[in-house]
Every structure is written in structure tokens, then in C-alpha cells.
Amino acid sequence: MDKNAEIGPSLVNGRFSLAVPNCIRLPSASDHSKSSSSTLFLSLISWSCALGGLLFGYGTSIISDSLHFMTADLRLNTFSQGITTASLFVGAAFGALAAGKAADLVGRRRAMVTLCFLFIIGNLCSSLAPNFPLLLSARIFLGFSIGGFSSVVPILLSELSPSPIRAQIVTCNSLNVVTGQLLAFVVGAPFWIGHLAMDERCVSLFPALLLLSALLLFVPESPRWLVSSGQMDSAFVVLCRIRPNAEEAREELAEIEQNQAERSGKEELTFWAFLWERWLRNCVLTGLGIALSQQIVGVAAPMYYGQTF
């Protein structure tokens, strides 16, 4: 850069003008267009992936409206009603544990595609189950997919989003969870008021099919997973699609590679060693405390059994 170059406003022919050194490149119209298109594409990806949260909220809450019809059709007693409701969360617990490991092995996108198929199959089997044992099995199967969504969706959203707005994008999933819960009660209301016979659980197939279509058509794989599997070129292509420019994509790719190198150089913590890491232990205890405070107030009882009171 020329030391004698003057930066700032100057008076030229009676008018003020802004002198800019040649080494400084001003944003062009194409830069703004690329930034806008990448932001729009990232928003589309985020809300599409967050449909997994919608499926989680809807799938867990629709039992409140469906339980009455299940009881009438399958002649369930009080114990069977409780087992039917709880079976979904038994499957969800195993699904959340298994999906995280599966996402590391096959990729976040493939894991979500598999979960979509499992959700559709489980939903259909649950709706068409002719007896209690098959209903119970279908509910556990459906819960497995719902628990998987709760684990994989936040991972994919956080790894696709840039760090300045990562919290906002991941919040889309939480927003869709409560939206799905609200949708379940809104959809169930006409069935109670009008005494309709249609099974409203099938309504959740529509967002599931939308999510599956989005995953198959345009949602990319996580660049962090691509780097961890050695696919550097593919990771750079994905970053170029969801970042404003190639320079920013290249910088983030270098940062991801550095983080992967640092992680590979460290030994994996065992369970007992994990307990001795104070900061990790505090994070886990904080998370458990928040989860316990949410459930200890008894909000689950009216949400899952409200229509049977």
C-alpha cells in the first residue's frame, strides 16, 4: 500500500470525494447478490431441517387426542393407556443415543433421511395397528425415529450455520418443537368437536414427506462431517454454497481442519475420566438440572393425558 495514498474525503473541483487505495476492494453488486442468495439458501436449509423438531413436537403431543380413539377401538384399560403413551419415549431414549453414533458413521444427512423413512413407517403402523401388542411395537419404533430427530437435527443445524448466528438457527428447531405441540392440539380439536373418525396421527406424514423431499433435493451434508471423513473438496463446495464468498468459506474450512487435527491428537475420554473433568461435569449437571426442572412441575400430565381427564 502506498504510504502517500490519502484515505478519506478530499475536496476535488469544489466537491468532496472519497479517495480509496487500490488495494482496498469495495463490495460489488455481485458480492451483495451472492451474499443474499447464500443467506436465503441457508434459511431454506435451516427451516427445512427444523421440520424434524416439528415432527418431534407433533409426534409426542398428538397422543393426547388419539388416546381416546385408541381406547375405544382397541379396548385399552388404564394401564394399557399409560404403557401406550410411555412406549414412545422408551423408543425415543434409545433413538437419541443411537442416532448420534449413526450420524458420526454415515453422516448427518443420511441419518436424517433414514429417520424420515422410519418415522413414516412407524406412523403408518401405529395408525393401522389392529391390536395392542402391534400398537405398542409401532409406538416404540416411532419413538426411535423421534428421538433420533432430537439428536441429529441440532447437530446438523449447528454445523451448517455460521458462528455469529448459530444460536438463532439452532433455535429454529426448538421453536418448531413447540409449534408441533401446538399443531397437534389444533389438529385434534375438530376431531373432538365434530366427533370425526379419521386418525389425526396421519397428519404428521405431510411434514415428514416435506422434510424427506428437502433432504433428498437440496439439503447438503455437514461440512464438518465431510472434513472428518476426508472429503475436503466436498466440504469446500458446501461451504461456498452457504457462505457469502469463497474467502470466508476457505477460512472456515481451514478452521475446521485445525479443530479436527487438535481433536485427533487428543485421547478420547473414558466415562470415569469424564467425571473428573470439572467443566464437563458442570455442563452435564446444568443440563440435567434444566431438564429435571422442566419435568418436575408435571407439565407432561396434561399434555399427554389432557383429553382423558
DSSP the chain: --TT---EEEEETTEEEEE--TTSPPP-HHHHHHHHHHHHHHHHHHHHHTHHHHHHHHHHHTHHHHHHHHHHHHT--HHHHHHHHHHHHHHHHHHHHHHHHHHHHH-HHHHHHHHHHHHHHHHHHHHH--SHHHHHHHHHHHHHHHHHHHHHHHHHHHHHS-GGGHHHHHHHHHHHHHHHHHHHHHHHHHHHHTT--S-GGGGGHHHHHHHHHHHHHTPPPPHHHHHHTT-HHHHHHHHHHHSSSHHHHHHHHHHHHHHHHHHHTSPPPPHHHHHH-HHHHHHHHHHHHHHHHHHHTTTHHHHHHGGG-
Residue 12 has a pLDDT of: 46
115 touches 49 (CB < 8 A): no
Mean model confidence pLDDT for the chain: 80
The verdict on domain 36-220+299-308 having CATH code 3.20.20.140 is no
> pLDDT by residue (tens digit) across 137-182?
999 999 999 999 999 999 999 999 988 888 888 888 889 999 988 8
Over 50: is that where the pLDDT of 34 sits?
Answer: yes
pLDDT class of 8 with cuts at 50, 70, 90: very low
- 19 with 7: CB under 8 angstroms? yes
The phi, psi pair for 9, rounded to 5°, reads: -70, 145
Contact 145, 95 (CB under 8 A): yes
Mean pLDDT in residue range 222-249? 91
CA pair distance 245, 252, nearest whole angstrom = 11
Can you give the pLDDT at residue 71?
80
Of the candidates 117, 111, 99, 96, the residue with the CA atom closest to the CA atom of residue 209: 117
Closest CA to 65 of 167, 181, 221: 181
Per-residue pLDDT band at 282 (split at 50, 70, 90) = confident
- pTM to 2 decimal places: 0.78
Q: Is the pLDDT of residue 58 over 60?
A: yes
pLDDT of residue 9: 44
pLDDT-derived band at 192, boundaries 50, 70, 90: low
Domain segments of the chain as ranges:
36-220+299-308
Task: Note the pLDDT tens digit of each residue in 256-274.
Answer: 998 888 777 666 666 677 6
The answer to whether the CB of 39 falls within 8 A of the CB of 161 is no
Between the alpha carbon of residue 234 and those of residues 79, 164, 215, the distances in Å are 52, 23, 17
